[in-house]
Chains A and B, each alone.
Chain A
Amino acid sequence: MALILFFVFAIAAVLSGICVAFSPFGNNPVYSAIALIMTLFFLACEFVLLHATFIAVLQILVYAGAIMVLFTFVIMLLNLSKEEIGEERLTLTKVVGLVVVLIGLTYQIGRVIWAHKVAPVTLHLTDGGPSNPAFGTIQDVGVKLFQDFLVPFEVTSILLLVAIVGAVVLAKRKI
């Protein structure tokens, strides 16, 4: 059951991920944004299958529900027409991006095939669940975050604070 669901969500995530760049409905930033929301949503479904329910909910709450709203907000606020977006051109950044993606993809696929050759993997239809029954709950994540990973957590919060201050400085001419 979990395996079937995994493939359903994985294929959906990859397909909607492709739709971000190549939308079947036309070249429109709003379609890309919706496709990206769907990708994030299906990723959250994969987290549920991995018994990480708290992370799954956070994924939807933060990425699909908050950050992507800002994306769509900006797209709609600008509401660029086709002339303003301009012609599609092949720039150096795009070529470099494509090369990096291809290298990464070949590396990952090669690794999986190599690992399978070294020690053949059998797929299980059901999993026995995590060894620790509290795995993935908010308590477990909280303990990990505030005991094992306290320094990275605090550094990240300082980084966010810097970003907020920077945004205020950029947005307001007179503070």
Chain B
Amino acid sequence: MTAQVVEALVHAAIKFAILVPGFVLALAALMSWIERRQSAMIQDRVGPNRASIGGVRAWGLFHIIADTLKFALKENIVPRGSNPLLFRLAPFMAMAPALIVFAVMPVGPTNRWVVSNLDVGILFIFAIGSLSVYGATIAGWSSNNNFSLLGALRVSAQMISYEVSLALNLVGVFMVFGSINLQTIIEGQGALLGGVLPKWGIVVQPVAFFLFLAASIAETKRTPFDAPEGEPELVSGYFTEYSGLALATWFLTEFAAVIMVAMMATAVFFGGWQIPWLPPTPALVATWWFQIACVMAFFAKTLFFVWVQMQLRWTLLRMRYDQIMTMGWKYILPISLANVLVTGLFLLLTR
């Protein structure tokens, strides 16, 4: 019994180490460069392309190393009058939940490709994700800075408001696929509707997909929902006082959240690891090359959604704070409630 438990723990630890530092954090570091290059493209600038090693510029890719060095070499200032204990603790309180949620994400067809295939699946992501709000609020409060405090208040109000509609949007999907386990939902998306269309979440729940995307971008606190860190009003919101590697932690947390949103959208609405028009028969799933292809498909879809979020980030304008609240409570929430109702009626009538 104990030997089995230890073996399972070691396996889970290895998988988590491959998925999170190997994919999520690496992609997050890459995104810090992609985001600036892409914003430069959209704004008709050149963007960061100067960092070079021995004359090789590689489109400015070495800026990732340069930035890391810069962050690491700067002083971690703890402002006078702040609460030093909570101020130092807050980045970890934000980072830990943002990385733990990846543990239930199935990136491939068998249980081998998921760290822990929990029965409660998506609810685990919501539960742990709801804890991530404390990092930002505690950071803003402990800074003892009025801009930070306002940012913290906005974060907690905004995240609480959008969590409700985020969960409600997925209820329709749960009803269609009859499960809250992510692996079961992805397997359910392998079927073909009428022999033509893949039964992906976006096909059966189109309204929920767009509301989900809006609500989850609000959860990541990025433009157009970045009022908590709106530069013209609040300097940098709740992380105004942070510097050095602590500041880098906040950026990494944000990028990890972006990747999580991309993975959720992929898994729930875009078939997860399913390759369209290639139903995963047991014989196919048993082969290693098919499993690798599925994992590749999952990561490709994830990258696509990361790109979509980057595009939105640099295309749309920042909403005013009251507009964000109005949108969350008066539009997204009632529409998602109606979506649940219509889905339930439809399922009841066609059963």
Q: Interface residues, chain A, CB within 8 Å of chain B?
A: 1, 25, 30, 34, 37, 41, 53-54, 57-58, 60-61, 64-66, 69-70, 72-73, 76-77, 79, 126, 137-138
Contact = CB atoms under 8 A, between A and B. Distances in A.
Interface string B99-138: 0000000000000000000111001101111110110011
B86 interface: yes
Given A61-B123, A76-B149, 18 more contacts: A30-B83, A30-B86, A30-B141, A54-B123, A57-B120, A57-B127, A60-B127, A60-B130, A64-B127, A65-B133, A66-B130, A69-B156, A69-B159, A72-B141, A73-B157, A76-B137, A76-B153, A79-B141
Contact of A69 (B83, B134, B140, B180): B134
B160 A76 contact: no
Contacts of B5: 1
A65 B123 CA distance: 12
13 contacts: A25-B85, A30-B83, A30-B138, A53-B119, A57-B126, A65-B126, A65-B131, A66-B160, A66-B163, A69-B134, A72-B134, A72-B156, A73-B137
B127 A65 contact: yes
A163 to B, nearest CB: 16
Contacts of B134: 34, 37, 69, 72
A61 B156 CA distance: 15
Interface string B55-81: 000000000000000000000000000
A57 B121 CA distance: 10
B2 interface: yes
B152 interface: yes
Interface residues of B, number: 32
Contacts of A66: 130, 160, 163
Interface string B23-38: 0000000000000000
B196 interface: no
A138 B180 CA distance: 8
B1 interface: yes
Given A57-B120, A77-B153, A70 B131 contact: no
Given A1-B2, A54-B123, A138-B120, A70 B160 contact: yes
B86 A60 contact: no
B1 A1 contact: yes
